[in-house]
């Protein structure tokens, strides 16, 4: 088969290179093309990104088309509003086996998005029935599960053209809800199982950099172990997202944090890193901002650094496996099991206000920066987790937790300098 997104990443990993990828989306087709070309030419092993706008994510394609007609600037590329010929022109001579392009969005109902990207000649996207439903809106979870089942099957049909389609779970990025890592690991694996059940054979499992580097290392290693157990018959790799929360305000802090993300990927055998730029705290990054971040991350991944100490087992794998096993026992149909799991509280995301989330769990950031449980609700991890109700967050504590990484990174960047690295 023609080299796919997943195949390209695995080939780069075998060659010893970390694949780096921007979060980039512009509504102007010439500017989007320029962004892809700059990404391809960066001094790094890269894949391209077309990030979609908010209207398209929400299915409001009439507003997206009106904005395109008026020449208004959007916060991403409206792939459904632009005609297919326009999108093909954006990709012409850039996308290919040596530079695959992924469409990133945020939609609980991406059927028209998936149809548009396939028609444009693309075959890689990301999301998931839970991870693109709970954080972003109020779409009922059972609707999102049904929508994503159809989208997986539509994407799987691309295989008939000689290309292996690729789907990345966003499940490791519920970090905005202050999720302890076991839930992120479990959700990535469960969504990977859902994708496989609906015909996808090439997946990536995500994990978002969080608040403590040692806990992150343990979590990614747990993710790889659980994926090997649960997804042994398909092609998969792990992708790290550079920190998704409140971003450092100093360039030194942002660069230090990105370097930590690159080293996390290298030290855990992850194959790909989605970067953030030093501009994130202030504005939408420019093409030049993205290229600098890509090249900085690639350089950090190649820089010789002292090997970290052996990873201490604090129970992340045990918690994640207990969650996956409990959900799997609910139904042979992974989608149906996910719906039941949230209804019964077997899966429960802290601080998530979606109506289908029971909201009985709570977490906090301890004095070492580790995310811990204060309440686990009805999740089946009472015998492996150690919740501490004394860590219950107040409103002031919640604000402090959300700013923890920002303050730590700015302090570390200014104190030690990016080139000296250091540990969170």
pLDDT of 310 reads: 86
380 exposed, middle or buried (CB, 10 Å; 0-12, 13-18, 19+)? buried
Pairing type for strands 371-376 and 361-365 reads antiparallel
Q: Give this prediction's pTM.
A: 0.94
- 20 with 298: CB under 8 angstroms? yes
Q: Provide the token pair at 105.
A: 């969005």
Q: Provide the token pair at 156.
A: 């799987």
| Position 122 in a domain | yes
Tell me what the mean pLDDT of segment 225-238 comes to: 98
From 227, 314, 303, select the one nearest 265 (Cα to Cα). 303
How far is the C-alpha of 119 from the C-alpha of 149, rounded, in Å? 19
| Position 71 in a domain | yes
How far is the C-alpha of 178 from the C-alpha of 400, rounded, in Å? 12
pLDDT score of 178 more than 80: yes
- Give Cα separations from 266 to 7, 71, 209, 237 (angstroms): 19, 42, 13, 13
Residue numbers of the domain that contains 123: 5-301
* DSSP assignments along 304-324, one per residue: --PPPPPPP--SHHHHHHHHH
How far is the C-alpha of 363 from the C-alpha of 182, rounded, in Å? 12
| Position 201 in a domain | yes
Helices (H), 234-332: 251-268, 287-302, 316-328
| Position 15 in a domain | yes
pLDDT score of 291 more than 90: yes
| Position 255 in a domain | yes
**Continuous segment of H or E residues that includes residue 374:** strand 371-376
Whole-angstrom Cα Rg for the chain: 20
400 exposed, middle or buried (CB, 10 Å; 0-12, 13-18, 19+)? middle
Q: How many CA atoms lie within 13 A of 214 on its CB side?
A: 13
pLDDT of 176 reads: 67
| Position 361 in a domain | no
For 415, other C-beta atoms within 10 Å of its C-beta total 12
- Return the axis-axis angle of helices 84-91 and 111-119, rounded to nearest 10°: 60
How far is the C-alpha of 294 from the C-alpha of 276, rounded, in Å? 9
Q: Which carries the bigger pLDDT value, residue 226 or residue 419?
A: 226
From 413, 396, 24, 331, select the one nearest 424 (Cα to Cα). 413
Q: Reduced to 3 states, what is the DSSP secondary structure of residue 273? A: strand
| Position 311 in a domain | no
For 226, other C-beta atoms within 10 Å of its C-beta total 23
Looking at residue 274, which CATH number applies to its domain? 3.20.20.240
Give tens-digit pLDDT for 86-143. 999 999 999 999 999 999 998 999 999 999 999 999 999 999 999 999 887 789 999 9
Tell me what the mean pLDDT of segment 266-287 comes to: 92
Give tens-digit pLDDT for 13-64. 999 999 999 999 999 999 999 999 999 999 999 999 999 999 999 999 999 9
For 89, other C-beta atoms within 10 Å of its C-beta total 15
- 133 with 353: CB under 8 angstroms? no
| Position 373 in a domain | no
How far is the C-alpha of 205 from the C-alpha of 21, rounded, in Å? 15
- Give the length of the chain: 424
């Amino acid at each position: 088969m023609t080299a796919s997104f997943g195949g390209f990443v695995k080939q780069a990993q075998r060659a010893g290179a970390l694949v780096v990828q921007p979060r980039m989306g512009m509504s102007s087709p010439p500017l989007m093309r320029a962004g892809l070309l700059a990404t391809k030419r960066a001094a790094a092993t890269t894949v391209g990104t077309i990030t979609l706008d908010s209207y398209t994510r929400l299915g409001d394609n009439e507003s997206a088309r009106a904005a395109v007609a008026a020449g208004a600037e959007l916060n991403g590329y409206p792939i459904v509003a632009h005609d297919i010929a326009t999108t093909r022109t954006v990709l012409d001579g850039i996308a290919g086996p040596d530079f695959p392009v992924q469409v990133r969005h945020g939609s609980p109902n991406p059927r028209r998005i998936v149809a548009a990207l396939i028609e444009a000649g693309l075959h890689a996207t990301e999301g998931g029935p839970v991870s693109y439903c709970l954080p972003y809106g109020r779409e009922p979870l059972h609707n999102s599960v049904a929508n994503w089942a159809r989208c997986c099957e539509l994407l799987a049909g691309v295989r008939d053209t000689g290309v292996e389609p690729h789907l990345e779970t966003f499940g490791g990025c519920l970090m905005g809800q202050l999720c302890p890592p076991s839930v992120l690991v479990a959700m990535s694996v469960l969504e990977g199982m859902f994708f496989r059940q609906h015909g996808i054979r090439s997946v990536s499992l995500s994990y978002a950099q969080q608040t403590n580097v040692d806990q992150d290392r343990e979590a990614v290693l747990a993710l790889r172990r659980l994926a090997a157990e649960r997804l042994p018959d398909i092609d998969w790799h792990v992708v790290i997202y550079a920190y998704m929360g409140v971003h450092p305000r100093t360039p030194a802090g942002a660069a230090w944090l990105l370097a930590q993300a690159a080293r996390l990927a290298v030290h855990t055998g992850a194959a790909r890193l989605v970067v953030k730029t030093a501009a994130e705290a202030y504005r939408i990054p420019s093409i030049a901002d993205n290229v600098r971040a890509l090249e900085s991350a690639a350089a950090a991944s190649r820089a010789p650094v002292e090997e970290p100490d052996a990873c201490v087992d604090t129970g992340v794998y045990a918690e994640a496996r207990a969650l996956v096993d409990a959900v799997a026992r609910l139904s042979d149909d992974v989608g149906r099991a996910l719906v039941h799991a949230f209804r019964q509280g077997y899966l429960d995301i802290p601080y998530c206000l979606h109506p289908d989330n029971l909201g009985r769990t709570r977490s906090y950031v301890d004095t070492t920066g580790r995310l811990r449980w204060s309440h686990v609700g009805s999740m089946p991890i009472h015998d492996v987790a150690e919740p501490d109700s004394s860590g219950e967050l107040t409103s002031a504590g919640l604000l402090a937790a959300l700013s923890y990484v920002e303050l730590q990174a700015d302090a570390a960047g200014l104190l030690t300098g990016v080139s000296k690295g250091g540990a969170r």
